[in-house]
Amino acid sequence: MARIVVAEVCPGCGSLDVRATEPRWFRVDLDRRGDLDQGWIDSLEFACRDCHLVWD
């Protein structure tokens, strides 16, 4: 099976020096997640280290 890897490219400056982060600073324990999570805990946020643009 072939695997394809895609690099995230900054939409502002075209740099490949991009980092990915999860916007929340903690993870909710799975058994309590339904009580606290509003559906955005698994989203990723990208930030360019060159021009500092942030996008998701």
Task: Print burial letters for 22-34: b (CB count within 10 Å at least 16), e (below 16).
Answer: eeeeeeeeeeeee
pLDDT at 2: 83
pLDDT at 51: 97
Interval 1-55: pLDDT, tens:
788 878 899 999 999 999 987 665 555 555 555 555 555 556 678 999 999 999 9
Amino acid (one-letter) located at 17: D
pLDDT at 24: 58
Number of separate helices (H) and strands (E) present in the chain = 1, 3
pLDDT at 53: 96
Residues 6 or more apart whose Cβ sits within 8 Å of residue 53: 10, 11, 12, 13, 47
How is residue 42 written in tokens?
Answer: 């698994």
